[in-house]
Amino acid sequence: MRLDVVTIFPEYLEPLNVSLVGKARARGQLDVRVHDLRAWAHDKHNTVDDTPYGGGPGMVMKPEPWGEALDSVIESGEGQPVIVVPTPSGRPFTQELAVELSEKPWLVFTPARYEGIDRRVIEEYGDRLDVREVSIGDYVLAGGEAPVLVMVEAIARLLPGVLGNAESHRDDSFAPGAMADLLEGPVYTKPPEWRGRGIPDVLLSGHHGKIARWRRDEAFRRTVRNRPDLIERADPAAFDKKDREMLSILGWGPGPDGRFGRVAPDVEE
Ligand SMILES: C[S@@+](CC[C@H](N)C(=O)[O-])C[C@H]1O[C@@H](n2cnc3c(N)ncnc32)[C@H](O)[C@@H]1O
């Protein structure tokens, strides 16, 4: 997979040389190219921003450097990239979107600063390419570089051969499949006792069925506590008899439309 990042702070992307993404680069699984937007700003001060039309605080990133930068990056490769525009006003970045983007051969990220990029740039490339405006959460950061690091890490770990154990992301929170729409429960490793705290007996039982059930029950406990919205919007067809029993213990039951909601307050969680 090829990844291009156009930014006014190339050094902010240094963490892409470290750990999982750095190793994937070193192995040639990821071709990451970071570009300095100011290379396409031609005045004495390499200006990339200007005052907003209509007034108001802050500055807006000028269209010309972005246009030249994106033309140059796009022309340097084969085929068409997906352009990922980090912005708090974009669609939420989810595990589902990470999976979708991990299947694309080429992504170009455009992290902005100031009040964002002149709208015409998004329109210009949106007319001929797949452009995704994406938010990593309901808060506003000073720039899009940290969101790019977040997205690249989430995407890169899904690429074949990047994680040491290909099964590792199967049970992740939000992973499509067995634990669909549930958060992952607690995990433990050796030693079996630490500061007087043991580990749940079932994990030592060697009984795969019981361990799987325990993990799913713990996932329900955690999801009910931290992200009840995930249970509320889950398709009830995804819940088997044991799931329903667990939800009932936790004070949750089906409503008139079959979807689950809290029916008893403060039952064991
Ligand atoms: C200060 S923010 C611009 C905020 C803009 N006034 C707004 O409210 O949409 C500057 C840049 O940081 C990045 N950014 C900030 N928060 C983000 C978030 N939650 N998700 C993705 N990108 C974000 C985007 O690249 C954005 O253009």
pLDDT of 266 reads 61
pLDDT of 178 reads 45
- Full-model pTM: 0.93
Q: What is the pLDDT of residues 156-194, one digit of tens each?
A: 999 998 887 767 777 788 876 544 589 999 999 999 999
Q: Which residues are annotated as a binding site for S-adenosyl-L-methionine?
A: 136-141
Q: What is the pLDDT of residues 55-81, one digit of tens each?
A: 999 999 999 999 999 999 999 999 999
Q: Kindly state if the Cβ of 112 falls inside 6 Å of ligand 1.
A: yes
From 39-53, 157-171, 194-208, the region with the lowest mean pLDDT:
157-171
Q: Kindly state if the Cβ of 116 falls inside 6 Å of ligand 1.
A: yes
Q: Kindly state if the Cβ of 92 falls inside 6 Å of ligand 1.
A: no
Average pLDDT in the 7-19 region? 97
Mean pLDDT of the chain: 94
For ligand 1, pick from 87, 93, 110 the residue to mutate: most ligand atoms within 8 Å of CB: 87
Q: Give the Å distance between the CA of 143 and the centre of ligand 1.
A: 6
Average pLDDT in the 132-152 region? 98
Cα–Cα nearest to 97, from 170, 152, 33: 152
184 is catalytic: no
pLDDT of 98 reads 98
d(CA 151, CA 185) in angstroms, rounded, equals 23
d(CA 176, CA 92) in angstroms, rounded, equals 17
pLDDT of 177 reads 55
Q: How confident is the model at residue 268 (pLDDT cuts 50, 70, 90)?
A: low
Q: Which domains does the chain have, with CATH numbers?
A: 2-156 (3.40.1280.10), 178-262 (1.10.1270.20)
**Annotated catalytic residue within 25, 38, 157, 222:** 157
pLDDT of 176 reads 65
Name, in order, each residue with C-beta under 8 angstroms of 255's C-beta and a sequence gap of 6 or more: 261
> Under a CB-based contact definition with an 8 Å cutoff, are residues 243 and 260 in contact?
no
> Under a CB-based contact definition with an 8 Å cutoff, are residues 187 and 219 in contact?
no
Residue type, 64: E
